[in-house]
Amino acid sequence: MKKLIIASTSTVHGSGFLEYISNDLKTHFKDVSKILFIPYARPGGISHNEYTLKAKTAFNKIDIDVNGIHEYDNPTEAVKNAEGIFVGGGNTFVLVDQLYKNNVISALQESINNGTPYLGTSAGSNICGLTLCTTNDMPIVYPPSFKTLAFVPFNINPHYLDPNPNSTHMGETRETRIQEFHKFNTQPVVGLREGSYLHVIGNEIILKGNLHARIFEQNKVPYEISSNTSLTNLN
């Protein structure tokens, strides 16, 4: 049975890394003593070791140890043997490229679908959808495929931003970009605002956090859903 926290961000304003969901993580990883961290997205281009230390520091506060997947000779076996898995944010194209090149896509799907608890933030949440095509990131590398893990039957747009009516910016809004996506793709898109996350248990998908999420479906007017709303039938 799948057990996932799919979070828009690792850090909200005024809070440290993962602090805003620390209580949820205690429950989510209650039977886990060590987490496998996947630092491939490399935010700001930091090293795998630097990023893993950041994750380790956060999880040590709730008495869980962390090892980076890059520390293992066989990444596929590391995923298969993991008690829990955390995929952090950064650049989604870099993340997906490395997941494919290290042959861990299928291993992740098998492990998570069989019940290994998973946390994804930002890029690590984006890959839980059907494709990476609703990321906000620059395509600085070209992964073998845009297909991702498909733990939920829709796409995700982390860090979703509402248009600012007082802004003088004349470029496209996030909503406009997603409408462009729907000219070529049919799957729904969930706009996750900062501090919101999807809680997945089995086939049940529930929006959590203090903010609404914005839902985009092809050929429909976008709409808002409130926290604790089920998204199980969104496909």
Domain ranges of the chain: 3-225
pLDDT of 81: 98
What lies within 8 Å, CB to CB, of 204 at 6+ separation is 230, 232
Q: What is the mean pLDDT of the chain?
A: 96
**Model confidence at 108: pLDDT above 80:** yes
- What value does the mean pLDDT take over residues 209-231? 97
pLDDT of 169: 67
- At 194, list the tokens: 């900062």
Cβ-contact 157, 174 below 8 angstroms = yes
- What value does the mean pLDDT take over residues 146-175? 88
3-state secondary structure of 69: helix
- As a whole number of angstroms, the distance between CA 5 and CA 24 comes to 9
pLDDT of 170: 60
Give the residue among 214, 178, 210 at the shortest CA–CA distance from 196.
Answer: 210
- What value does the mean pLDDT take over residues 166-174? 75
CATH value of 3-225 in 3.40.50.880, 3.40.190.10, 1.20.1260.10, 3.10.129.10: 3.40.50.880
Beta strand residue intervals within the chain, DSSP E: 3-7, 34-38, 65-68, 84-87, 118-121, 155-157, 189-191, 197-201, 204-208, 213-216, 223-225
pLDDT of 69: 98
- As a whole number of angstroms, the distance between CA 71 and CA 55 comes to 14
pLDDT of 14: 85
Give the residue among 112, 113, 137, 110 at the shortest CA–CA distance from 123.
Answer: 137
Which of these ranges, 105-109, 128-132, 164-168, 184-188, has the smallest mean pLDDT?
A: 164-168
**Model confidence at 171: pLDDT above 80:** no
- What value does the mean pLDDT take over residues 41-50? 97
Residues with a catalytic annotation lie at: 122, 137, 159
Question: For the whole model, what pTM was predicted?
Answer: 0.96
pLDDT of 195: 94
